[in-house]
Amino acid sequence: MREERAALRAAVRGLLGGRVARAADHGEIDAGWARLCKEIGVAGLAVPEAYGGAGATLIEANVVLTELGRVLSPMPMLGSVLATQALVRSGDDDACARLLPGICAGEPIAAVAWEGSGEVRDGLISGSFRDVLDAGAAHTLLVAAGGALYEVDAGRTDRQLTGTLDLTRRLETVRLDHVPGRRLAGDDPLPGLRDVACVALAAEQVGTAERALELTVEYVKARHQFGRPIGSFQVLQHRLAEAYVRVEAARSAAEAAANAVAAGSAEAQRLAAVAKVSCSETVRAVAAEMVQMHGGIAITWEHDAHLYLRRAWASAQLFGSPAGHVARLTPTLLD
C-alpha cells in the first residue's frame, strides 16, 4: 500500500510539473483537471467501484491534495472530495449511480453549498451560502437546507465570485430563490462531512507548508551576505529547524485524522479538529518565515512567496477558523 501511494504521489507531481499557480484561470483548470481525472483518476479515488470510482479511501485522496497544495493548484480536488463523500455518505443509491460516474470522470463538476442558511417550502429552496468551492464551474450543487441535502441544478442559482486574499482559489457566494431541488435519501451526511472537509484541507495545508519550507531552505543556501550563505547563520538555522518540526507534527496530525475518518473511528471528530488547528497554524507560521527569510523580494508580485502566504491565511479560515475548532475541542478535553 505504501508503494502504491508513493507511485500515486509521483504520478501527480510529474503531471503538475512543479509550476506554482498564480491565479485561478478557468482554461488551465479545465485542462489540468481533465488530465488528472483521465490519466490518474483522482476524482474517484475515494468512491466505490460500483459508482465508477477506484474504491480506495480518503487517505489516497489526501495524497493528491498534498501534491496540489505544494503548487497552490486551483484544481477542484478539495471540492470534489466533499461532493463525492457527501453523496456516498448520504446512502442515496439512485443519486450516486446518476452523479458519481460523471464526477469521477472529471465532468460534470459538483459543489457543496453548506456554509450559510437555506429553507425549503413546497419543495423549493431559498437561501444564501458563502465560500462555496468551485461553484462557478459546477453543473450540480448539493445544497444543505432544512436538515437535509438537496440536489440542485447549478444553472438555476445565482453564483457570484467572492473576493478573497487567495488569488489561486475560487470561492463563490450562491443564492437560491425558490429553486427546485431533489432531496437525497438516507441519513443527513453533513455532521460527518465537516470532519472529511477538515481532514482533506489539512492534507492540502501540509503540502503547502512542506513546499514553502523547501523553497526557503533552498533560498538561504543560495543567498549570500557578509561573504557567506545566510543559511549558515545560527539564528536562521534554529528558526528553520522549528519550522521543520512544525511541518512534521502537522503531517502526523493530518495522517492520524485521515486514518480515523477512513476507519469510521469514534475519535474521528476530535482528530479532525486537531488536524485543522495544527495544520492551519503551521502553514501560516511557515509561510510567514518564508516571507521573512526571503526579505524584500518576497513581497514583489513576481515572486511566489506572497502567494504561499495568501493561501496559508485564507485556507486557515475554510470550514471554520482554528479558534472555532479549539472551542469545539475544549469540552472533550475537559471531560
pLDDT tens track for 252-271:
999 999 999 999 999 999 99
Percentage of the chain exceeding pLDDT 70? 98
Q: Where is pLDDT greater, at 329 or 309?
A: 309
DSSP states of 75-128: -THHHHHHHHHHHHHHT-HHHHHHHHHHHHTT-S-EEEE-SEEEEEETTEEEEE
| Predicted confidence (pLDDT) at residue 334 exceeds the cutoff of 70 | no
- pLDDT digits 0-9 by tens, 33-79: 999 999 999 999 999 999 999 999 999 999 999 999 999 999 999 99
Sign of CA dihedral 24, 210, 131, 133: positive
**What's the predicted TM-score (pTM) here?**
0.94
How far apart are alpha carbons 120 and 147 in whole angstroms?
10
Query: pLDDT per residue over 45-58, tens digit each?
Result: 999 999 999 999 99
**In angstroms, rounded to a whole number, what is the distance separating the alpha carbons of residues 280 and 84?**
24
Is the CATH code 1.20.140.10 the one for domain 190-334? yes
Q: What residue ranges do the domains of the chain occupy?
A: 2-183, 190-334
Fold match flag (2-183 vs 190-334)? no
The enclosing H or E element of 39 equals none
| Domain 2-183 fold | Butyryl-Coa Dehydrogenase, subunit A; domain 1 (1.10.540)
In this prediction, residue 188 carries a pLDDT of 76
Instruction: Single out the residue of 83, 56, 78 nearest to residue 262, CA to CA.
Output: 56
pLDDT digits (tens, 9 = 90+) for 195-251: 999 999 999 999 999 999 999 999 999 998 888 999 889 999 999 999 999 999 999
